Structure 1
């Protein structure tokens, strides 16, 4: 949704803040938060990337699956999400597994 204000500047409604702001300011603010420079780090500070293998550093009870992933379990081919602390994983028998980066170590 746009609103033309006096002058040549175009104003855009920012749903996050609930305010009208100049389009140039909104683009600069969202450009810093769009995840393009998102860095996901594991429990010991290694930078994670899509496709990496990780190892669990502690036992984790998986809610809704009724099972526990043990320390030392290897998770192959992770995918990064838009969140700096969450990674999307595949594990046999568990669909839609999302782990916190603080509980894994890069292999």
Structure 2
């Protein structure tokens, strides 16, 4: 199902996660595999959040506990490299900011 997961809209992923048909960890792992396969040629993902799997596990734990969930709980997403994100390198596509 991992190939299917990377092609589903966010709302469908959220519904599957809420219904416990897939876990946030499965979804993130599927997306990380796809990034690993395609990104060397595309160079679309500049920086991966180092804690994405940890956050997926936390999302899964919240579901297991029965916590109240946000609409897109457990759904991975990307943030454009021009937006400052705490704990994630932001280069704005410039070599001058490679270590920013």
Whichever structure has more strand as a proportion of its residues is 1
Please report the TM-score for the alignment, with normalisation by the length of structure 1.
Answer: 0.21
Greater relative contact order, per chain length (Cα 8 Å cut-off, separation 6+): 2
Whichever structure has more helix as a proportion of its residues is 2
Bigger Cα Rg: 1
Please report the TM-score for the alignment, with normalisation by the length of structure 2.
Answer: 0.22
